[in-house]
Structure 1
Amino acid sequence: MRFSFRPALAVLVLALAGGCYSTPSYTTGGRPGRAPRIQPVRHWNELQELIRSSRQPLAVIFQLPTCPHCKALKKKLPALASEYPGITFATVDGGRTPYPPYKHGVKGYPTTVIFSNGREIDRFGGNRLMFSLRKRFDRVAASYR
C-alpha cells in the first residue's frame, strides 16, 4: 500500500486551522448584544490606579498564560462579567506584567482579589466551579446594591 502525503497534509492543515481562532475583544457592556468589559492590566501603576479609582467592586484575576487552571477560569470571565455588571473585572498576566505580585499577596495562580474603595474585601485562589464563583460574587454584589 502506498502512502500519499497530500491527504495527510490536508488533514493536518485543517486540524491546525481549526485551533486558530481569534479571541473576542471585550468591549464596554451595558448594551444588549455587546460583550462585557474585562480590562487587561499591563503595568503595576495601571493596576494601582484602577484599584484607587474604582467606585464599584473590582475583581482582579492574577493569572499566567501557561497555567491550565488560569485558562479554565479565564473562559468563565465573560459569563461572570455579564451576570455581575456592578463588578468591574480586570486580568493581570503574571508572566508579562512588570509588577511585584507579592505586593498583593499573590503566591500562586490563579488568584482572584476583590477590591472596593481601594481596600481588599475578598480573595480566593484557584479555579472554582461556576456555582462557587457565583456564590462569592453574589455576596459581593449584595453588599453594594
Structure 2
Amino acid sequence: HKQISITYHFFIHTRSEDNMGSNVSSVHDVHSSMETKSALVLEIESRRQWRSLFDSMKGSDKLLVIDFTAAWCGPCKTMAPRVKEIASKYSNVVFARVDVDRLMDVAGTYKAMTLPAFVLVKRGEEIDRVVGAKPVELVKKIEKYNV
C-alpha cells in the first residue's frame, strides 16, 4: 500500500491603507498568522470570553494589558503591530484586545473613551493606563508593573 500525505496551505489576500493613504495589498499565510496572533494578543470576541479571562486573571499576579481599540481608529491600527511586537517581548504578560464597539460595556467599565487606550490590570484592579499611541510609555509602564 502507498501512503499519500496531503498538506493544505491557505493564504488570505488583504487590502488596506498605509500611513500615506496609499492602498496596500498583502498576502498572509493563514496558518502562521493565526498562530502568532493567538500566542501574542488575545482577541476578545464576546462577554463570556472577557469574563473568563478576567476571572482567571483575578487570582494571578500576572499583568494584564487591555488594548481598547476600534475598527475606525487610525492610531489603533498604527499601534497594532507595535503591540504585537511588545507582547512578543513579555511572554509572562497577558495582552487582550477589546473592540469598544463590540464590547461597549467592557469599554464603559474602564472608561475607555479616547483610543487607543491601554489599561494595565493586576489581580482584577486597574493599576495604570496609557491613552494614545505611545509605545514607549506603554513599555515603561509594563516594565514598572511586570514584577
TM-score for the superposition, normalised by structure 2: 0.70
Matched residues in 2 for 1:98 and 1:19: separation?
A: 29
Matched residues in 2 for 1:77 and 1:91: separation?
A: 10
> Equivalent residue of 2:75, what SS?
helix
Question: 5+ residue gaps in structure 1?
Answer: 1-14, 29-34
1 or 2, which has the higher strand percentage? 2
Within a 5 Å distance, the mapping from 1:18-97 to structure 2 comes to 19-22=25-28, 24-27=33-36, 36-54=39-57, 55=60, 56-95=62-101, 97=102
Q: Deviations over 1:9-39 (max 9, x none)?
A: xxxxxx97x61333722448xxxxxx84210
Cα distance, 1:45 vs structure 2: 3.1
Q: Report which stretch shifted further, 54-63 or 35-44.
A: 35-44
Question: 5+ residue gaps in structure 2?
Answer: 1-21
Letter in 1 for 2:44: V
Aligned to 2:137: 132
Cα distance, 1:84 vs structure 2: 1.1
Letter in 1 for 2:129: R
Letter in 1 for 2:42: Q
Letter in 2 for 1:136: K
TM-score for the superposition, normalised by structure 1: 0.71
Letter in 2 for 1:52: D
Q: Is the 8 A contact 2:130 2:137 kept in 1?
A: no
Q: Is 1:121 matched up with 2:121?
A: no
Q: Deviations over 1:29-75 (max 9, x none)?
A: xxxxxx84210001123223212212211101010112111011111
Question: Where do 4+ consecutive residues of structure 1 move more than 4 Å?
Answer: none
Q: CA RMSD in A?
A: 2.3
Q: If you compute each CA radius of gyration, which structure gives the higher value, 1 or 2?
A: 1
Identity of aligned residues (%): 21
